[in-house]
Structure 1
């Protein structure tokens, strides 16, 4: 029963999928002021499994999709939430509850992106060090004075790169920033500048990432939806999509559960094969690698891991081919080489012969073994421990993972003689 619970939990929470891309996972923290984040909550999930449109456990069955109302309702184990809800933890019961947002009618509960300029020009309720600059930016945007908007974004960009300033900009202006980035009615160059500012704020800034994850859990979903709406892939559109993928890379690297379904991977696949940009492809492979890494390290059997990955990435062999191709690229840096090699290592470990590795990769691996073996045995006492660990893993993988395990056993036997 425990294994059955694992796989049902794994698929219903991590790999949730909705035809209309409007289902999200219940956030792990409250989005309202009703929650004391220091209150200990110990809620142990019961055995839950999917039965059609229902979730079932020992106590009975209930809808897979949470049905919101204007009153607080308990979120039952593993229920999926429409976007746009207010969420809290009831301090008396310790249970998560949700209701329709005060500003969201029921027929608009799944819409989170700001869709008109009037919503985007609403200013924060309190002043701070960048209030004046953003007030002018809103005013220029409302007047459709886009040349001035460009200049104002450029003036603010340096502040966005700063650790403290970037955090302040996000907590005060993220409603505005995400509204501009996702507004299809605005010029692409304005949206691209805005997305670039978001990237500047979140890169190497964990508090900013955590703030977005806790308070805007639908942001990643909205980015995927926006990319899916692209009809004509012009150079300007390509640049905006690259910015979006950069945002996704940072957020998903921090929390891979942002990926919720096969639709997301299909979106990434389309972008990967539509836009011929090496850096963009590397970013997308990083997203895939983060997901595979998370699945590989779940406490599940190999069969469950394999089924879980295939559930959302049916074309995993195609991605395996791409990882194999990029890991052999002589221009790739060591960080990407390790990440992509580890992804191939994990996939081959979990899938075995169901994943095919081409001869070019094996030849590259043999050459790498020769190079890295010499490096390990060069007599230098002070070494990079992390590098040595990876090199040994790569060397050992030739027979243990990417070759004949029996040949590896024979080799080890002779080495011990």
Structure 2
């Protein structure tokens, strides 16, 4: 009987060892088929492979990297970094099977091993999530493990501790970024004891650009389309801070994130009124020329949202005045060649066409007309270029005559294009 038990244990060890090896090899090899690079928005020179390549040594897992399953994971809370490496052979052996002397058949022993494996391999994995009938699936899940992530409440505690290192802040903010889309977590994040700290991290220049960027992103995501979270925010204290830092910000990423926060705050008639009291419209328009291209588009979207919340009795007069200023700002931006990307150029131009079509009395600047004529002529000469945008060319040509000039000259203009 003892020999039979030893033979059964040997069979089980070999069987599970083969499964573990196959799962590890499969999960490690497949992700490397596409190994493109990830480059930081803040530092374009900081690039690294999209797929994490494990070794038998602990390595830092960078933001956005795809991590293969079947690895050991760890997190350094002092530095706020995630680490991973290949599972050592001893781990496979000890985590796969630990069977007592028994006369049960192989299947029963395997089921018991699977039941225990998750507890030994992955401490934060809940074995109750696995269906009892899916033996092989359960074993695979236990072997693969899971990437360690800081709990939302722990992350909030970490960021409120002022003696935390920059790396711990980044790791905590990274976890909050994942949680902030959730409405319930958004309400928690918006609690004053946490939210005030996030605002300080986002607006105080003593913090790194990455910490400011991540904090702004968490704020915007937790408030957007989340009325309960927005109710927790003292907008009269928060909004002026972001409007102030926006005026002095030159970093393209931070500009966009700050505007994202402002956009998430301006979601009600009351908040729009506060935005106007703090000269929000003027700040966006006055700083429009220094905004990077994506931020220009975001600023226009905010101004459109503001108009939606204008009171009906005020809408016609206030909208007309605001639209007139927007039209002038767009003309200046285009004629000064502040836009190089065709997609962004088309968005701004479409808005100018819309405003002029609805308000014929708006003045068209001569400098803008010169820019428009040059755009049409230059694009006509560049028709053979690989990046030639025929649709935008036709749109510029048509608007040049129909919207901003003489509609009767359009037919001749199309003939000249042939």
Q: TM-score, normalised by structure 1?
A: 0.46
Q: Which has the higher contact order (CA 8 A, sep 6+)?
A: 1
Structure whose CA Rg is larger: 2
Select the structure that is richer in helix.
Answer: 2
